[in-house]
Amino acid sequence: MKFEHIYPATGRPNGTVDLAGAAEIDEAVAAAARAQREWASLTVDRRRDLLIDLADVVHDHLDELAKLNVADYGVPISFAGTAMLLERFLRHFAGYADKPHGVTTPVNGSFDINLVEREPYGVVGVITPWNGSLVVTGSCVAPALAAGNAVVLKPSELAPFAALRFGELCLEAGLPEGLVTVVPADAEGGDALARHPGIGKIAFTGGGGTARKVLQSAATNLTPVVTELGGKSANLIFADADLDLAATLSAHQGPLMQSGQSCACASRILVHDAVYDQFLEKFLGVIGAANIGDPMDPATTFGPVISQAAADRILAAVDSAVAGGAGELLLGGKRIGGEGYYVEPTVFADVDNSSELAQLETFGPVVSVMRFREEDEAVRIANDTPYGLNAFVQTTDLNRAHRVARRLESGSVWINQFSDISPQGPYGGYKQSGTGRTGGVEGLHEFQQVKNIRIAVR
């Protein structure tokens, strides 16, 4: 099936892409299974070197991949350098290919040899979202390959171009044909991949509603699934925080970065009452200075949302919040210009945390600012959500930073900084923000299954 991709910055066609259905998914899994056997037959040092070669090839094409990211979903080129994270994940996990993956342990009442080994699943299905597709590709494909698997990579039909180019770069780097098979697809192709009997594990990044469908499809063959889902992250601004830094971090981690279209978006900003007005003034000033425009212009810091449907949904949420008295609309809430899918950065103040505005993931440039007076109150409000992917704390008190971080129900807590995802750190959610982790040795283990071998010693 042909899919006409629309460039979000203009609303005009960007090209057509062939989408995979069940038949193409079946061919991709078969090719991946053949390639995995070839991959497993290579020595670990050879697999390591090939992954390093792939990282080198990706490095040589970073500018191209960044521009394809812009074409995919209209992210400003100033932020599209996230292609570098793909390279970093590849280099990091290449180093795991020749490291110990198992242990030996003694056993009770015996001198037997007890081996605990970690082995690949075989073929792993990776389903990436349209936002940050290369980051997710790095965080899932790199450890899957290092663990000895082959990968069928299904990018969203809304962002296929960078992923398709990555598939070509895998071949240019010398990886076996089929080891990384890229199959752009819509919901039909995703369902076929999740329920395919030749898939050993699924890694899914996206929304909770789609995750439920993936889990149902995967249940056909009891295929395990690792998920990284949505968020409604809290950003706690304490009275002792550096307010200039806090305002900058809050603006970019909130409505500006990817136009708020990020699972890591800090959309609930909790500010101590003593500095509430001062913070708001600085915060609105940073947002007001944002450069809105052509995503290909390096000076642009705020781009469009992904589609007309997304713009309509976001603006409907704003209208509903205004009508329902969820908070005071201080800034934004309207479309920008006549071309493309631009929605103004939008700020609500004194928001009720029980409102839909504060509880439901808007996935757009809309943030809620709330007051708190005591640390306990801030933690209670921050945790009062079904999500738990990220949390942010702005404070110069080291004791408070440690104390609060341990009380927040979140897979990651960032102190005085952005959500700086790295291959060394495990990333994933609590509660409805997902299960499992990508990154770190925990991310490697997601793509390995454990085998126990016991050898009798008489």
How confident is the model at residue 385, as a pLDDT?
97
> pLDDT tens for residues 114-167?
999 999 999 999 999 999 889 999 999 999 999 999 999 999 999 999 999 999
> What CATH number does the domain located at 234-415 have?
3.40.309.10
Letter for the amino acid at 62?
L
Question: Is pLDDT above 90 for 343?
Answer: yes
Average pLDDT over residues 276-287: 98
Name the DSSP letter for residue 231. Answer: -
What tokens were used for 327? 């908070």
Report the catalytic residues.
228, 263
Work out the average pLDDT over 423-438.
96
State pLDDT tens for residues 41-56.
999 999 999 999 999 9
Q: Select 2-229+433-455's CATH number: 2.60.40.10, 3.40.605.10, 3.30.200.20, 3.40.50.920.
A: 3.40.605.10
Local structure of 228: helix, strand or coil: strand
Q: What percentage of the chain exceeds 70 in pLDDT?
A: 100
Q: Which letter does DSSP use for residue 448 in this model? A: E
Domain with CATH 3.40.309.10 in the chain: 234-415
Q: Are strands 387-388 and 430-431 parallel, antiparallel or unpaired?
A: antiparallel
C-alpha span between 306 and 72 (Å, rounded): 9
Express each pLDDT in 60-98 by its tens digit: 999 999 999 999 999 999 887 778 999 999 999 999 999
| 305-342 pLDDT, tens digit each | 999 999 999 999 999 999 999 999 999 999 998 899 99
Element (H, E) at 388: strand 387-388
Mean pLDDT calculated for residue range 384-397: 98
- The pLDDT tens digits for 159-200 are 999 999 999 999 999 999 999 999 999 999 999 999 999 999
**Residues belonging to the chain:** 458
Going by pLDDT thresholds of 50, 70 and 90, the confidence category of residue 1 is confident
pLDDT at 243 over 80: yes
Q: Which of 1, 14, 21 is nearest to 307 (CA)?
A: 14
Query: Which segments of the chain belong to CATH 3.40.605.10?
Result: 2-229+433-455
CA nearest 239: which of 353, 394, 377? 394
pLDDT at 206 > cutoff 90: yes
Tell me the chain's radius of gyration from C-alpha atoms.
23
Averaged pLDDT for residues 270-287: 98
Segment 231-235 shows an average pLDDT of 97
pTM, full prediction: 0.96
What token pair was written down for 426? 């495990």
| pLDDT score at 309 | 96
